[in-house]
Structure 1
Amino acid sequence: MNKMRPTFKDYNQNQAWLFPPSIDELIPKDHPVRIVDRVLEQIDLRELISTYHAEGKPGYHPKMLLKVMVYAYMDNIYSSRKIEKALKENVNFMWLSGRAQVDHNTIARFRSERLVGIFKNVFKQVVLLLAEEGLVTLKRVYTDGTKIESVAGRYTFVWGNAVKTRKEKMQQQLEEMWDYAQSIADEEDKDPEPPDFKAVDPKKIEQTAKKINKILKNKSSQVEPKKKAKGRYIEKNFPENLKKYQEQEQILQERNSFSKTDTDATFMRMKDDHMQNGQLKPGYNAQISTEEQIIINYTLHQDANDLHTLKPHLESHQELYGSLPEELIADAGYGSQENYELLESKGIEGYVKFPTFDREQKLAGRNKGIKVFDRDQLYYNPEKDFYVCPMGQRMDFKGVKRTRTKSGYAQENHYYQAKHCEGCPLRGSCFKGSGNRTVQRNPQLEYYKEKVREKLLSQEGEKLRKKRTADVEPTFAQLKHNRKFTRFTLRTLPKVEIEFGLHALAHNIKKRIA
């Protein structure tokens, strides 16, 4: 029985083409790379082109480099070396670049230098194109934040409290040595006016240390070896140490920490790992506003708390589009008197939870879990301005305490105090402190909470709250989980803004294709 032999199509690597195909013929008409090309061809790049000089050797066209960069981020390629490799091997990149062989250094410089300060304008123009197509209106935005780790070393931290403690300890040691030197000095060597050790600078420390060591040398026979060594150590090290601490304080500004290998990065509590351990890492707080899962605006912050990011985030929106959104929906991380007042003053309809809103709703209509001794459960008489404790005792107004938030916003808290808590049978459950129980109330915040509560519990409010979880949160999931964007590759705030912006722009173009 004859066995049939298999047949194959012709295979000849050396076969010559009579009519060689162009690269364009190899790319499908609906391929995403063509969408990137069409979208960015509509963008005004005069601002980017103006960053180049007329002198010198001609460079690669910034339009080509921008197209390549955006498409690379759409294709989850973020390394400049991998982009260089794709330009040589990937037909889509070859078509987009016109077969230009761009080295990784040029790509890296374009991303981290040329795009700084101008990329947000490119991003805005693309969003406006999407608005023209009816995909977004810019009138209603869902705002949220997430923390993204810096490329900085995880153990290269500088803590603000540690710097303050070291400075205070150094000043104390210097003062002690000054007092000791003055106690043994001859009359002609004594200084009637001691230095202000809390306001010394490196030069002043050096002068003071020299005076101390001069006295110690003159009274060498009376001075313990340890004191001599301490004096020499102060003169040698304290001026440089103080200079270093002052430089660190200049970097810190209002922050509580920074990384030595990326001084713009702040140590923040990241999401728990798989063992439910909290992660304290250097990073940035990324804020986005979305509509239909399209990123309308993004800002990067060094503050781990979302509370203080809303104002600069809205200012960025105003700068981009010349107007503010009509509605803003956000979670309880933004709920504060300052933010409620901000939204009201800007004419923005805010659907922003306050921190205890979810707990209120969870316990509403149920006795189980309600803490009857909480201030919010006490009866309050708004006409006569007093509370009533669980035993029926009046808690009268005692005074006002004015405070300021981290951003300088002024708040007023009203204090109320009971009169006869001693001997009360409920005292152990009501409160644990000594004396009579005191509660505080912020009237303006309570006013805003009442308004917000009414809006959030309305039919429209419930719809928007559900919509928020299906709009802005999945956008972060796309960026961080699907695109594996959990750590920046660039350092310093201006550069990480570019990196995040490229991810945001690539995301928006992908949403347009979808």
Structure 2
Amino acid sequence: MLLNQNTNNNYTARQLKLPLEIEKLIDISDPVYTFCEVMDHIDLSGYFVEKGYKTGRPRCDEQKLLKVILFAFMENGVCLLRKIEKLCHNDIRYMYLLDEMKAPTFATFGNFIRNELTASIEQIFTDINTYIFTKDHVDLQHTYIDGTKIEANANRYTWVWKKSCMKNRQKVFDKISILIDAMNQKVLGYLGIKLEKREEYAIGYVSELLAMYKERTGIDENSFVSGCGHRKSIQQKQYQELEGYLKRLKTYVHHIEICGNERNSYSKTDQDATFMRLKRDYMGNDQLLPAYNLQAAICDEYIAVIDVKPYASDMECFVPLMEKFSHTYGHYPKYPVADAGYGSYNNYLYCEEHGMEKYMKFTMYKKETTDKKYHENPYRAVNFSKDADGNLICPNGQKFLFKRRQHVKYNKYGRTEELYECESCEGCPHKQKCCPRAHKNRTIRMNEELTAIHQEVLKNLESIHGALLRMNRSIQSEGTFGVLKWDRSYKRLFRRGEKNVILELTLISCGFNLYKYHNKKQRQMKVA
């Protein structure tokens, strides 16, 4: 009797058993539970309004999309859209967050971030911080401030320099003046017309000159000749030359307007990025790279405020960061702690105006505190003695007489400084140590208010409280950037434009705070 040898290969031994409960497969200490705890206490319905579409496929649930995106940033620091799509198909935690919703594509995530989160992500970040700060009792009075330059998503050789544009624009002005002389002499003089020259030429005026020249000479652009074997008329040559100068003027004006009054450069592929010198120069020739100045205010290891500015100097970024802090939390921090990059006269007066203590180092702070020879140098103006009338007395016993008061440039608070000149430095035995480069009597510039502020800052920072704050700043603020740039390998932006860069960095800050809250929660559970 023949046996039936038919076999069925349409099966696999690795099959799931039903019913399947996803929550039993996720470890109890997994970050997804901490994430759900925070998000469940936030009302997200106000951020996503139903559009009321009557046709097309059903829309994805915006709240679930947001949760998947934020959890991906929480886990990875920064997460690519295609990777999020892959995680939704393969990672059971993302299936748990989707809650039976079909896994979206990377394009769905991209459209959602671009169209829905650009305007609302900062408020969502504030809501997340409000819950976390309340649960963890975060102190918002002590704020640790630091900045770092992060490379923009812009091409390398796309720089535009403002000074170069202004210099070349002046050269075009000179060439236009020479051309107007040639027009008046060779063509318009025979017609009884004379064009007016100027030192600087506006675009509108050059356009009027071009139209006037075309009208009075009666030339027709359709009759212009070009190429080998054709001879251009003098009218055509002058008209096309002036037209070329007009085009160059428009280009230079466009570049200068984009730079504005506060920047000296920008990138053509990301016009909000400014060329700065970065610590990590992969080109190896100390070349400027397009970048943004990332500013963060840290409170108890959490990112309280994140901001981005196209300024290379940290001094210009302090006031906008504090204004954003006040707008977000309704008050200014009492103790803003920052390094020497933020200590300026403007920022100190700003702290006085808004009730903030001065715990920001100034430029020469390290030398003042560590270099005893510099601090006690008798030839420094701050170490000069004073007579009964308040006049400064140099080590040789000569008086420094008040000469004049002068305004300090680029100071919006109207800062002035006093200029003093020595009575006589002739035959002084201390000249080589006091002022070796001075050809006449020594002059010094002083601002008594700024000197008093520096003494106050030194007193604050050298106290026990100030020492603890300085130690915490180096741990918390610089440690935050260390986690972002090295632990999570986030060293270059993915988006272009200041508005999109803030969106990207706010998403990363949301993920950072959520993961920090999860880690603190797990440590507290182990201790308990």
Q: Does the TM-score normalized on the shorter chain lie above 0.5? A: yes
2:352 equivalent to 1:344: yes
* Equivalent position to 1:411, from 412, 415, 428: 415
The aligned runs of 1:380-395 (5 Å cut-off) are 380-381=385-386, 384-395=389-400
Contact conserved, 1:272 with 1:279, CA < 8 A, in 2?
Answer: no
2:22 equivalent to 1:23: yes
2:248 equivalent to 1:244: no
Q: Which AA in structure 2 matches 1:244?
A: T
Find the aligned partners of 2:67 and 2:210 in 1 and give their Cα distance: 61
Q: Flag the 1:197–1:85 CA change in 2: closer, same or farther, 3 A.
A: farther
2:37 equivalent to 1:41: no
Q: Flag the 1:384–1:213 CA change in 2: closer, same or farther, 3 A.
A: farther
The aligned runs of 1:313-462 (5 Å cut-off) are 313-364=321-372, 367=373, 373-376=379-382, 378-381=383-386, 384-405=389-410, 408-429=412-433, 430-462=435-467
Find the aligned partners of 1:358 and 1:116 in 2 and give their Cα distance: 42
Q: Flag the 1:458–1:177 CA change in 2: closer, same or farther, 3 A.
A: same
Q: Which AA in structure 1 matches 2:264?
A: N
The aligned runs of 1:43-58 (5 Å cut-off) are 43-50=42-49, 53-56=51-54, 57=56, 58=58
Offset, 1:87? 1.4
Equivalent in the alignment of 2:206: 205
Secondary structure at the residue paired with 2:358?
strand
Q: Which AA in structure 1 matches 2:53?
A: E
Contact conserved, 1:206 with 1:235, CA < 8 A, in 2?
Answer: no
2:67 equivalent to 1:60: no
Equivalent in the alignment of 2:173: 171
Q: Which AA in structure 2 matches 1:409?
A: Y
- 1:171-192, CA deviations, whole angstroms, 9 ceiling, x for partnerless residues? 111012213433455375343x
Equivalent in the alignment of 1:14: 13
Q: Which AA in structure 1 matches 2:441?
A: N
Contact conserved, 1:210 with 1:235, CA < 8 A, in 2?
Answer: no
Offset, 1:104? 1.3
Superposition RMSD in Å: 2.8
- 1:123-176, CA deviations, whole angstroms, 9 ceiling, x for partnerless residues? 111111122213412121111111111111121111111111121111111012
Equivalent in the alignment of 1:86: 87
Contact conserved, 1:286 with 1:301, CA < 8 A, in 2?
Answer: yes
Q: Which moved more, 1:116-125 or 1:477-486?
A: 116-125
Equivalent in the alignment of 2:227: none
Q: Which AA in structure 1 matches 2:316?
A: H
Q: Which AA in structure 1 matches 2:416?
A: E
Secondary structure at the residue paired with 2:63?
helix
Secondary structure at the residue paired with 1:148?
strand
Equivalent in the alignment of 2:222: none
2:295 equivalent to 1:287: yes
Q: Flag the 1:61–1:351 CA change in 2: closer, same or farther, 3 A.
A: same
Find the aligned partners of 1:117 and 1:308 in 2 and give their Cα distance: 25
Find the aligned partners of 1:255 and 1:15 in 2 and give their Cα distance: 62
Find the aligned partners of 2:486 and 2:385 in 1 and give their Cα distance: 48
The aligned runs of 1:105-254 (5 Å cut-off) are 105-184=107-186, 185-186=188-189, 188-191=191-194, 194-201=196-203, 203-209=204-210, 231-253=238-260, 254=262
Secondary structure at the residue paired with 2:296?
strand
Q: Which AA in structure 1 matches 2:59?
A: G
- 1:349-408, CA deviations, whole angstroms, 9 ceiling, x for partnerless residues? 2311111111111113xx3897654444x40538745433343322211111113426x3
Q: Flag the 1:475–1:194 CA change in 2: closer, same or farther, 3 A.
A: same
Secondary structure at the residue paired with 1:409?
coil
Contact conserved, 1:389 with 1:395, CA < 8 A, in 2?
Answer: yes
Equivalent in the alignment of 1:222: none
Secondary structure at the residue paired with 1:432?
coil
TM-score (norm 1): 0.87
Consecutive unaligned residues of structure 1, counting only runs of 5 or more, are 1-11, 219-224
Find the aligned partners of 1:257 and 1:274 in 2 and give their Cα distance: 20
Secondary structure at the residue paired with 1:460?
helix
Offset, 1:100? 2.6
Q: Which moved more, 1:172-181 or 1:316-325?
A: 172-181
TM-score (norm 2): 0.85
- 1:269-291, CA deviations, whole angstroms, 9 ceiling, x for partnerless residues? 11144898635211111111112
Contact conserved, 1:178 with 1:212, CA < 8 A, in 2?
Answer: no
* Equivalent position to 1:480, from 479, 482, 485: 485
Offset, 1:92? 2.0
State percent identity of aligned pairs: 28
Offset, 1:508? 0.8
Consecutive unaligned residues of structure 2, counting only runs of 5 or more, are 1-10, 220-231, 520-528
Secondary structure at the residue paired with 1:477?
helix
Offset, 1:337? 1.1
Q: Which AA in structure 1 matches 2:303?
A: I
Secondary structure at the residue paired with 1:133?
helix
Equivalent in the alignment of 2:31: 32
Contact conserved, 2:387 with 2:393, CA < 8 A, in 1?
Answer: no
- 1:424-459, CA deviations, whole angstroms, 9 ceiling, x for partnerless residues? 454454242433222111222112112111111112
Contact conserved, 1:70 with 1:502, CA < 8 A, in 2?
Answer: yes
Offset, 1:13? 3.5
Secondary structure at the residue paired with 1:470?
helix
Find the aligned partners of 2:443 and 2:500 in 1 and give their Cα distance: 49
Contact conserved, 1:297 with 1:317, CA < 8 A, in 2?
Answer: yes
Secondary structure at the residue paired with 1:329?
strand
Q: How many residues align?
A: 490
Find the aligned partners of 1:280 and 1:370 in 2 and give their Cα distance: 39
Find the aligned partners of 2:45 and 2:247 in 1 and give their Cα distance: 48
Offset, 1:510? 1.1
Contact conserved, 2:369 with 2:375, CA < 8 A, in 1?
Answer: no
Q: Which AA in structure 2 matches 1:204?
A: Y
Contact conserved, 1:420 with 1:436, CA < 8 A, in 2?
Answer: yes
Q: Which AA in structure 2 matches 1:63?
A: Q
- 1:265-318, CA deviations, whole angstroms, 9 ceiling, x for partnerless residues? 111111144898635211111111112211111111111111011111111111
Q: Flag the 1:456–1:421 CA change in 2: closer, same or farther, 3 A.
A: same
Q: Flag the 1:232–1:380 CA change in 2: closer, same or farther, 3 A.
A: farther
- 1:208-259, CA deviations, whole angstroms, 9 ceiling, x for partnerless residues? 24666899999xxxxxx99989735533322222222222222111211111
Q: Which AA in structure 1 matches 2:450?
A: L
